[in-house]
Every structure is written in C-alpha cells, then in structure tokens.
Amino acid sequence: MILPLAVIQSALLAAGQVFLKFALGRMLPFSWTSAFWKSVFVNWQFAACGLCYGAASLLWFYIVKHFPLSSAYPMVSLSFVFGMFAAMIFFHEPVGLAKWLGVLLIIVGCYFIAK
C-alpha cells in the first residue's frame, strides 16, 4: 500500500518543482521592493507550487505515521523520476543514458523496498 501513496506524494513534489521553475521565470530579479513582491504573490504558478508542496507534505505526514521510515523515506527518490520526465516534457531538457540508468535503478530499488 505504500507504493501508490509514495507515487502520488512524489508526483506532487515534482509538480511543485515544475511550477516553481515556471514561477521563477516570471518573477522580477530579487529585491526588497514592492514591485518584486507583487511579482511573487500575483504569480499563479508560485501559488500552485505552494499547493503542491502543501499537499505532498500532508500526504508525507500520513505515510510517515503509518509506515516504517526505512520503507517510506527511500520512496521519496521517486520524485527524481518524475522530475526527469517533467524536465524532458516541459523544459525540453536532454536526458542521456546515464540518467536513464539512474532512473531505472531508482525504480528497481523502490520496488524491492516496497515489496
């Protein structure tokens, strides 16, 4: 039962990262001005990032409470898998053989931990 929850939690973490990257691209350069802070707080991608992180955190609370930490914590690495796919799809980043091998090892490792 931990694997489906871990997949959802990791997908939410990766979605938060995607929204954060989009949000940062729309923000003004950092400064202590009202214009900068307005660019932060009227940015819907920044809000979506926070919602994804918040939902992932709530789900993480549930996972940690109901499953052994030695099983739960390694499952967070699934967010790297989702993050790589998101980088390819949304940001058109190249993915080499070494990265694919790393993803395969993460998936296999999570399978054995969840079993």
Distance CA 54, CA 65 (A): 17
| Per-residue model confidence as pLDDT tens digits over 44-75 | 999 999 999 999 999 999 999 999 999 999 99
Look at residues 65, 67, 47 and name the one whose alpha carbon lies nearest to residue 113. 67
Is the pLDDT at 41 greater than 90? The verdict is: no
Is the pLDDT at 5 greater than 90? The verdict is: yes
Ordered by start, the domain boundaries in the chain are 2-114
pLDDT number for residue 103: 94
Distance CA 115, CA 12 (A): 23
Q: Which residues contact 63 (CB under 8 A, 6 or more apart)?
A: 2, 5, 6, 9, 72, 75
Q: Identify the burial level of 99 via C-beta atoms within 10 angstroms of its C-beta, where 0-12 means exposed, 13-18 middle and 19 or more buried.
A: middle
